[in-house]
C-alpha cells in the first residue's frame, strides 16, 4: 500500500482521514405532513419556507409554508422512489413524509456528506413490501472524511463550483433551445424573412414537392445470421431529430437481398410512420448520415428539385407532431402510409435560395447547441473525476501537514 494510506471499511484513505458513521454526526429523522392551511405555491413573507418532497425534479420543491421544521445547512435523503439520493439544503425548510433529514451534530459537514452519499454510498433495502429507507437504517452507514471541517468544506466548495458551472450551462442550453424554437416559429412560417428575400409563400402538399417515398422492412428474426452483417439498419427509435451515422443493429447483405431492402443514400430525410400515438415517436425524424437500410417504421422521403432536404427536415421538426395528430390513421396504432405522407401540407418560400438560407440559420443554432452539450458532458466528466480524487483523499486541497492546523 502506498505510504501514508490505510485500508478501511470505506476503502483506502489517507492515514489522517477517518471513517465516520452518520448516527454519530447527524440527527436523522423523517419529514412530516404539511398543514393544508399553510401550503402555498409561491414564496412570500407569510410563506417563506420551501417544502421539499421525495422527488428529483426541481430538487423536490413542492411549495412553500409558514412553518419551519428543519434547519439550514442540512441534507435530505429520498426514502422512497429514487432511494438514497441526497440534496443539500442551505436554507430552513419543511420536509414532507418519506424524505429523511440529516442535521449535522458532529464533525461531518452537510454539503460534503451530500456529495459523499451520492458518489460513495450504496444503500441496501432491508424492509419488505414497498422499498424504502428509514432513519435507523441510514444511521448505520458511513463515509470516509477529511480530518477537519475546514478541509471537508474546501472539498465541498470545489465540487459546488463545478455544479454551479453545470447549472449555468443547463440554463444556456435551455435558452438556446428556446431561441431555436422561436426562430423556427418565425422563419418556417414566413412571419419573419431573412435579409434579401421577398415574395409570397406558397401552400403545397408533400406530394407536390417529393418524387417518391418508401418504407423499409424487418428481416426474419428466426434467421440469426441475418443480424450478423455490417449493413446499418435504422429503426424509428433511432430517429431523434438527428443525423444518424450508426445503428444499434446491423444486418447482412443476404438479409438485404432476401427482404428486398433498399440502401438509402446519405442526406435522405427519414420520418417515423408507425406508433405515432406515442409522444416520443410522434413527429420523430432524422437525416441519414451513412448509407443504411431501414425497418418498416421509417419512411424515406425524396424531394424533387423544388424542395431542399434540410428545409424539409426543419419544417418537420417544427410541425411534425401537429401533422401526425391531424393526418395519421389507425385504430390501435396510429400510422402514416405513403398516400397519407403525400397529403401532408408544407409552406414554402418562393425560392430554393431562401429555403437553403433558413435551413442554414437553424443548422447553425443546432451546431451551437451541440457544442454546448459537448462542453457540458466534458464538465460533468471533470466533476466525476474530481469526486473520485477528492472524496477519497487521493488529491488534497489542504496539505496533510496543515489539515489539523
Q: What is the pLDDT of residues 348-396, one digit of tens each?
A: 999 999 999 999 999 999 999 999 999 999 999 999 999 999 999 999 9
C-alpha cell of residue 96: 414532507
The whole-number average pLDDT for the span 99-107 is 95
**Is residue 197's pLDDT more than 60?**
yes
Element containing residue 223 per DSSP (H, E): none
More confident site: 81 or 227 = 227
Q: What is the pLDDT of residue 402?
A: 61
* b/e per residue 85-119 (b: at least 16 CB within 10 A): bbbbbeeebbbbebbbbbbbeeebbbbbbbbbbbb
- pLDDT in the model for residue 38: 84
201 pLDDT tier (thresholds 50, 70, 90): very high
Q: What share of the chain is helix, strand, coil (3-state, %, to 5)?
A: 35, 25, 40
User: 70 has which bridge partners?
Assistant: 93
CB 105 within 8 A of CB 20: no
**pLDDT band at residue 226 under the 50/70/90 scheme:** very high
Q: Which of 173, 100, 195, 210 is nearest to 365 (CA)?
A: 173
Round to whole Å and give the CA distance between 23 and 139: 4
Sequential DSSP letters for 161-179: HHHHHHHHHHHHHHHHHHH
Residue keyed to cell 449535522: 104
pLDDT for 404: 53
Tens digit of each residue's pLDDT (9 = 90 or more) over 25-84: 999 999 999 877 888 999 999 999 999 998 888 899 999 999 999 999 999 999 987 889
How much of the chain, in percent, has pLDDT values that exceed 90? 88
The model's pLDDT over 250-302, given as tens digits with 9 standing for 90+, comes to 999 999 999 999 999 999 999 999 999 998 899 999 999 999 999 999 999 99
pTM confidence score: 0.85
Domains of the chain plus CATH, in order, are 18-145 (3.90.220.20), 149-198+350-405 (1.10.287.1120), 202-348 (3.90.220.20)
**pLDDT confidence bin for 170, thresholds 50/70/90:** very high
Amino acid at each position: 500500500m502506498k505510504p501514508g494510506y490505510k485500508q478501511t471499511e470505506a476503502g483506502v484513505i489517507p492515514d489522517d482521514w477517518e471513517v465516520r458513521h452518520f448516527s454519530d454526526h447527524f440527527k436523522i429523522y423523517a419529514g412530516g405532513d404539511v398543514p393544508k392551511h399553510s401550503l402555498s405555491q409561491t414564496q412570500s413573507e407569510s410563506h417563506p419556507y420551501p417544502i421539499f418532497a421525495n422527488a428529483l425534479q426541481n430538487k423536490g420543491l413542492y411549495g412553500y409554508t409558514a412553518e419551519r421544521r428543519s434547519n439550514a445547512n442540512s441534507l435530505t435523503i429520498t426514502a422512497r422512489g429514487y432511494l438514497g439520493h441526497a440534496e443539500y439544503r442551505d436554507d430552513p425548510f419543511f420536509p414532507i413524509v418519506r424524505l429523511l433529514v440529516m442535521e449535522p451534530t458532529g464533525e461531518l459537514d452537510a454539503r460534503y456528506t451530500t456529495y459523499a452519499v451520492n458518489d460513495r454510498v450504496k444503500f441496501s433495502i432491508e424492509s419488505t413490501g414497498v422499498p424504502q429507507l428509514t432513519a435507523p437504517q441510514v444511521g448505520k452507514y458511513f463515509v470516509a472524511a477529511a480530518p477537519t471541517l475546514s478541509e471537508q468544506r474546501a472539498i465541498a466548495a470545489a465540487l459546488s463550483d463545478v455544479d454551479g458551472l453545470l447549472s449555468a450551462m443547463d440554463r444556456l442550453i435551455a435558452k438556446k433551445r428556446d431561441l431555436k424554437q422561436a426562430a423556427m416559429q418565425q422563419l418556417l412560417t414566413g412571419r419573419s424573412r431573412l435579409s434579401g428575400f421577398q415574395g409570397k409563400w406558397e401552400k403545397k402538399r408533400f406530394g407536390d414537392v417529393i418524387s417518391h417515398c418508401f418504407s423499409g422492412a424487418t428481416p426474419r428474426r428466426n434467421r440469426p445470421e441475418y443480424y450478423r452483417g455490417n449493413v446499418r439498419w435504422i429503426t424509428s427509435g433511432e430517429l431523434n431529430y438527428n443525423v444518424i451515422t450508426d445503428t444499434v443493429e446491423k444486418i447482412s447483405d443476404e438479409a438485404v437481398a432476401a427482404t428486398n431492402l433498399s440502401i438509402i443514400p446519405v442526406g435522405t430525410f427519414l420520418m417515423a410512420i408507425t406508433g405515432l400515438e406515442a409522444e416520443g415517436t410522434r413527429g420523430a425524424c432524422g437525416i441519414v448520415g451513412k448509407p443504411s437500410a431501414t425497418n418498416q417504421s421509417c419512411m424515406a422521403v425524396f424531394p424533387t428539385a423544388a424542395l431542399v432536404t434540410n428545409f424539409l427536415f426543419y419544417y418537420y421538426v417544427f410541425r411534425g407532431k401537429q401533422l401526425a395528430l391531424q393526418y395519421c390513421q389507425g385504430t390501435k396504432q396510429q400510422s402514416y402510409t405513403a398516400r397519407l405522407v403525400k397529403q401532408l401540407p408544407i409552406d414554402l418560400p418562393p425560392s430554393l435560395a431562401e429555403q437553403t438560407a433558413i435551413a442554414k440559420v437553424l443548422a447553425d443554432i443546432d451546431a451551437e447547441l451541440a457544442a454546448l452539450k459537448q462542453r457540458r458532458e466534458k464538465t460533468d466528466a471533470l466533476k466525476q473525476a474530481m469526486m473520485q480524487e477528492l472524496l477519497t483523499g487521493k488529491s488534497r486541497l489542504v496539505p496533510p501537514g496543515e489539515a489539523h492546523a
